[in-house]
Structure 1
Amino acid sequence: MRTDQIARVIAERFPDARLRSVEKLKGGVSAEVYRADLSLADGADQSVVLRAMGKSGLESAREYALLTSLHNIGIPTPRPFCFDDSRHHVDATYVLMAFVDGASDIPLDMAGPRIALMAEALAAIHKVPKTTLPQLPDRLDPLQQLTEFLPVGEEWRPLRDYCESLENSAYKGVPVLLHGDFWPQNLIWKAGRIAAILDWEDAAFGDPLSDVACAVLELRYLFDDLQIDRFLASYRRHAEIDPQRLALWQVYVASAAQHYMGGWGLELSREAHMRQMALHQIREAAAILGIGLPGSLSNV
C-alpha cells in the first residue's frame, strides 16, 4: 500500500489533521498494518493504525463491530474509529483504530507474572456476555477438519484411528467468546499490564478450551514447561479445564499449525523449532488421551 493512499484515508477521516509519518508494522499473514502519526488542529499529536485486510466487507464490518463492543465494555482493545469496504482509497477493506503504545515481548525475567496475567485476560474474554456482541462463527468441534491436518505416516496411525472413531465431539456447554489467536504478539504490554489485545479477526463463539490450546502452543514455542503449567494453573483459577477435551484441542491446534506454517514466511530455523514443538504437543496430548505413539519427533 502506498503512502499517498493512506494519506487520502487520513484526510477523509481526520480532515483537520496533518499527516507527519507512515510506518508499516509487523503484522500477520492476513493483513497489512500501518501506523500513521498525526498532528491535530489543536496541536495535539495522535497515532492511528490502519489494518488493511483482503477479506469481505461483511467480515470487516463484523470485526469492527466486535472491537467497538469490547472497547465499550472495558476489554483492553484499541479504540476503533471506522471500517471501510468501499475500496475507494485503497484496494482492501480496512479498520482504522487508535494506536496503543507498548511492547509485545515478554522478557524471561517477567515471564511468570505476565503469563499469569495472560491467563486472567483470556478467562475474562470467555466471560464477556454474548448479548453485547455481534454474531460470530461457531468453533465447537476439535475434530472438524482434523484428519486433513494430522501428520502423515504410519507412526501417527493410532492417533488418526482414535480421532476417526470419536462421535459427538462438539462442545456441549454454553458457547463463549473466543479470541481465536491469543498469543504474546497479539498483546500490548505497558507498565506491567495488558494495555491492548489485538487481532480479533478469528473471533468466534465456542469451546473456551480451543483458545487455551492455542495459547499453550504459542507459549510452548517461547518458554519451557514450567511456564505452560503456570498458564494453565492461572486459567484454572477462573474456569475449569477438562484435560481430555483440552488434549483434543491441542491435537487440533498443533496439527493445523504444522500443516500451515510452511506458508507463514518463517526463517528456516524458526520453522524447524516450531514444527518440533507442535509435534511435541501432539504427542503429549495423545498420551493424555491414552494413545501411545511410536517413532521420533522428526517425522512430519
Structure 2
Amino acid sequence: MDLRADEAIPFKQLVQKLDRGNKLLRAWEIKGGISAQITGLEILQPSGTIVRVIVRQHGENDLKRNPNIAADEYKLLEILTNEGLSAPRPYYFGQGGAIYTNPCLIIEYIEGSPEFSPSDLTDYIFQLAATLVKIHRFECEHLDLSFLPRQEEQYVKMVAAKKINMDETLNQGLIRDVLKTTIPFSSLNQDVILHGDYWPGNILFIENKLASVIDWEDAALGDPLADLANGQLEILFHFGMAAMADFTHQYISMMPGLNLSHLPFWQLYAALRLASFPEWGLEKSKENIMRERHSSFVHQAISIIGKS
C-alpha cells in the first residue's frame, strides 16, 4: 500500500541524501518483516533513470540489543557485496536525528520473493544449502569483522536469560537445562560469518533461481553449525522431515572436515530461539504442525546428546 503524502515527506528528504537531484516518485510499505519497518521507494534520478531502493528501520528490540545495528549491517553488506556474495548492496546509513529518530539503512531493491511452494523442491533445497555453504566458506581472515558479535556469547545469554512464562509444551525448560551443562561453550570448527536467521523467508527467488539472502541484522561470527541448525528447523517447519534431511546432507557434503559433534546443542539453541512461533498469529492447523515438528526436533537432539 502506498504511503500518504504526509507519510512520504521524510522519505523525500531521505532520497536527497543519496543525491540532491533525486525525486521521490512513490513510497510503499513492504509487509513481512517483524524486526524492522521496511519501505520501498521509487526514485527518479537526475539522469532520468528510475530506480527502486529499500529503507530498513530497525525495531526497538534490535536497537536495545545493539544500538549500532544499522551501522553494523551497512558495513557487513558492503563487505559481502564487494566479495560477490548474494546480499543487497547498501547505499546509505543514517544514525537518526533530523529526518528519523532511529537509525535507517537504504539498500538495493531486489526483484524476487521468498518461495514456500517451489516447483522443484529438490533443486530449491540444493540452492539453499549451496548458498549457505558459500557464505560459510567465504574467506574473511583478512577483514576487520570486530563489529560482529560472537555467536557463542549470544548462546550463553539466551540460555541464561530468565523466562517468566516458559512454554513447557515446547520444552523450553528442558532445553535450557540441557544447554546450561555446556557452558562455557567452545567451538570445534573455524569461525565463519553467520547469517544468524537463515530461513526461507529471508531468501529471495526469481524464476526458481536464488537471487539474494536478505535481513542480515542477526549476523555474527561463530560455528557454522549454528546456521545449519537454524536452517534445519526452519526447513522442517515449512517442508517436512525429508526436505530437512536433504538440506543437511547437501550442506555437509559440501563442507568436508566439518566437526558435527556439537550439532545437537546448536539444534537445541535453534529450537529455543524459534520457540516463539505461537505468538506469530499462525493459523491453528499450521501452528499445530510446527509444534509437532518442533517437539520431534528437540527430542531427537536430546536423544543424540544422551548417547554421546
- Do Structure 1 and Structure 2 share a fold, with TM-score over 0.5? yes
Give a deviation string over 1:252-279, Cα, whole Å, max 9, x none: 1112221x33444545544443333222
Q: Distance in 1 between matches of 2:117 and 2:176?
A: 38
Kindly indicate whether residue 101 of structure 2 is the aligned counterpart of residue 99 of structure 1: no
Equivalent residue for 1:126, pick from 111, 133, 136: 136
Q: What is the count of residue pairs matched by the alignment?
A: 289
Paired letter, 2:16:
A
Q: Distance in 1 between matches of 2:17 and 2:176?
A: 54
Equivalent residue for 1:83, pick from 93, 109, 134: 93
Cα distance change of structure 1 residues 3 and 126 upon mapping to structure 2, 3 Å threshold: same
After TM superposition, the structure 1 = structure 2 runs for residues 1-300 of structure 1, keeping only pairs within 5 Å, are: 2-54=7-59, 55=63, 58-130=68-140, 131-135=142-146, 136-140=148-152, 145-146=158-159, 152=168, 162-166=178-182, 168-239=184-255, 240-258=257-275, 260-290=276-306
Whether the 8 Å contact between 1:57 and 1:85 is mirrored in structure 2 is no
Whether the 8 Å contact between 2:43 and 2:51 is mirrored in structure 1 is yes
Whether the 8 Å contact between 1:32 and 1:51 is mirrored in structure 2 is yes
Whether the 8 Å contact between 1:38 and 1:47 is mirrored in structure 2 is yes
Specify every segment of 5 or more residues in structure 1 that has no aligned partner in the other structure, as ranges.
292-300
Give the alignment's TM-score, normalised by structure 1: 0.86
Structure 1 window deviating more from structure 2 (274-283 vs 211-220): it is 274-283
Cα distance change of structure 1 residues 187 and 108 upon mapping to structure 2, 3 Å threshold: closer
Paired letter, 1:213:
A
Q: Distance in 1 between matches of 2:96 and 2:86?
A: 28
Structure 1 window deviating more from structure 2 (212-221 vs 187-196): it is 187-196
Q: Distance in 2 between matches of 1:166 and 1:132?
A: 30
Q: Distance in 1 between matches of 2:176 and 2:74?
A: 39
How many percent identity over aligned positions? 26
Whether the 8 Å contact between 1:106 and 1:114 is mirrored in structure 2 is no
Structure 1 window deviating more from structure 2 (30-39 vs 232-241): it is 232-241
Specify every segment of 5 or more residues in structure 2 that has no aligned partner in the other structure, as ranges.
none
Q: Distance in 2 between matches of 1:15 and 1:266?
A: 44
Whether the 8 Å contact between 1:262 and 1:271 is mirrored in structure 2 is yes
Cα distance change of structure 1 residues 24 and 160 upon mapping to structure 2, 3 Å threshold: closer
Q: Secondary structure at the match of 2:56?
A: strand
Cα distance change of structure 1 residues 133 and 197 upon mapping to structure 2, 3 Å threshold: farther
The CA deviation at 1:125 is 0.9
Give the alignment's TM-score, normalised by structure 2: 0.84
